[in-house]
């Protein structure tokens, strides 16, 4: 899953997994401040996220953002613009490790309808980087923000960094 470029740039003495997690988080943090052009899921960077998963301008893009970050990190997967697809049973995680994904469940949609990348956990709080959100934390926002969410509000976590057996 991971390309050779990242492996060649790891600091001496770090574990591959820890360095990979750190790299994914840094890539996500570098996107903080990206904003939609007109508030309609558009703009050059947002459209780049959407293209990563084969979606056109105007579509919700939180999952596309996550897929874009993983692509830039050298991963073939995840690659989906559909938030629930980022939480298959084979990838579910119990730990809020950096680089893992959080899924927010929306009862009105009866599914996970928003996703972000974990930066860190501090007690009952998880700091994440999320696309297509806003100051209020909505699932239809205007940019990429750092968010702080209570653990109890997170429906699922998934881990796309640890190698898993079988095809996905």
> What pLDDT digit, counting tens, does each position of 115-125 carry?
999 999 999 99
DSSP 101-139: EEEEEETTTTEEEEEEEEEEEETTEEEEEEEEE-TT--S
Q: Given this model, what pLDDT does residue 137 score?
A: 66
Dihedral angle, C-alpha 56, 31, 75, 81, nearest 10 °: -30
Tell me which residue of 103, 105, 88 sits closest to 160, measured CA to CA: 88
> What pLDDT digit, counting tens, does each position of 20-77 carry?
999 999 999 999 999 999 999 999 999 999 999 999 999 999 999 999 999 999 999 9
Ordered by start, the domain boundaries in the chain are 4-158
Other C-beta atoms lying within 10 Å of the C-beta of residue 114:
25
Query: Is the pLDDT higher at 139 or at 80?
Result: 80
In sequence order, what are the beta bridge partners of 75?
2
First to last CA, the chain: 11
Q: Given this model, what pLDDT does residue 16 score?
A: 77
> What pLDDT digit, counting tens, does each position of 8-34 carry?
344 444 457 999 999 999 999 999 999
Beta-carbon contacts of residue 127 (< 8 Å; ≥ 6 apart): 118, 119, 120, 121, 146, 147, 148
Banded pLDDT at 1 (limits 50, 70, 90): very low
Q: Given this model, what pLDDT does residue 164 score?
A: 57
CA distance 70 to 74: 6
The yes/no answer on whether domain 4-158 falls in CATH 3.90.1720 is yes
Please name the residue ranges forming H helices in 9-161. 16-29, 44-52, 62-72
Average pLDDT of the segment spanning 88-96: 96
Q: Given this model, what pLDDT does residue 140 score?
A: 81
> What pLDDT digit, counting tens, does each position of 102-113 carry?
999 999 999 999
């Amino acid at each position: 899953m991971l390309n050779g470029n990242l492996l060649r740039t790891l600091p001496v003495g770090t574990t591959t997994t820890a360095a990979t997690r750190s790299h994914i988080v840094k890539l996500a943090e570098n996107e903080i401040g990206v904003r939609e052009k007109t508030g309609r899921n558009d703009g050059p960077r947002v459209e780049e996220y959407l293209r990563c998963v084969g979606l056109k301008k105007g579509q919700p893009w939180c999952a596309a953002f996550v897929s874009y970050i993983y692509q830039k990190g050298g991963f073939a997967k995840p690659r989906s613009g559909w938030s629930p697809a980022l939480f298959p049973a084979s990838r579910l995680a119990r730990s809020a490790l950096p680089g893992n994904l959080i899924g927010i469940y929306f009862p009105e949609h009866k599914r996970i309808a928003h996703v972000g990348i974990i930066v860190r956990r501090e007690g009952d709080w998880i700091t994440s980087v999320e696309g297509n959100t806003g100051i209020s934390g909505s699932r239809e926002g205007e940019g990429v923000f750092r968010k702080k969410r209570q653990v109890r509000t997170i429906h699922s976590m998934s881990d796309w960094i640890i190698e898993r057996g079988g095809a996905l």
